[in-house]
Amino acid sequence: NAGVTQTPKFRILKIGQSMTLQCAQDMNHNYMYWYRQDPGMGLKLIYYSVGAGITDKGEVPNGYNVSRSTTEDFPLRLELAAPSQTSVYFCASRAPLAGVYEQYFGPGTRLTVT
């Protein structure tokens, strides 16, 4: 298993540009999550999904959109990028099994908006 994969690893955007951060997992996990990590801070939840076709907002959803058309993929869309969105973005997934609660994280995407 490749686990949770994210592309790209790094990206520089100009203010106002848009982009999609890709996330995929091959573990058949129902639950998927997007977090952002600002410098020197912990992670904050942007959006999450409990299965294909079902998404919901987390703590900091403004400026982002998500979709979940398949179990494997959970892309995060940034529209009209702003400097405040400079961060490291982590995607995570969790098994659907009862009693299994740990999330497994991808390697992250470092985004700079200038």
Partner 1 sequence: AQKVTQAQTEISVVEKEDVTLDCVYETRDTTYYLFWYKQPPSGELVFLIRRNSFDEQNEISGRYSWNFQKSTSSFNFTITASQVVDSAVYFCALSGIIQGAQKLVFGQGTRLTINP
Q: Which residues bind partner 1 (CB under 8 A)?
A: 31, 33, 35, 40-45, 48, 50, 56, 58-59, 88, 90, 92, 94, 101-108
Please give the Cα distance from 77 to 55 (Å, whole number): 13
If you search the block for the tokens 């995407």, which residue do you land on? Answer: 109
Nearest distance from C-beta of residue 9 to partner 1, angstroms? 10
Which residues, in sequence order, are bridge partners of residue 6? 23
Query: 33 with 103: CB under 8 angstroms?
Result: yes
Q: Which is nearer to partner 1, 20 or 37 (CB)?
A: 37
Cβ 42 to partner 1, closest distance in Å?
A: 3
Shortest reach from residue 45's CB to partner 1, in Å: 5
| CA–CA gap between residue 19 and residue 40 (Å, rounded) | 25
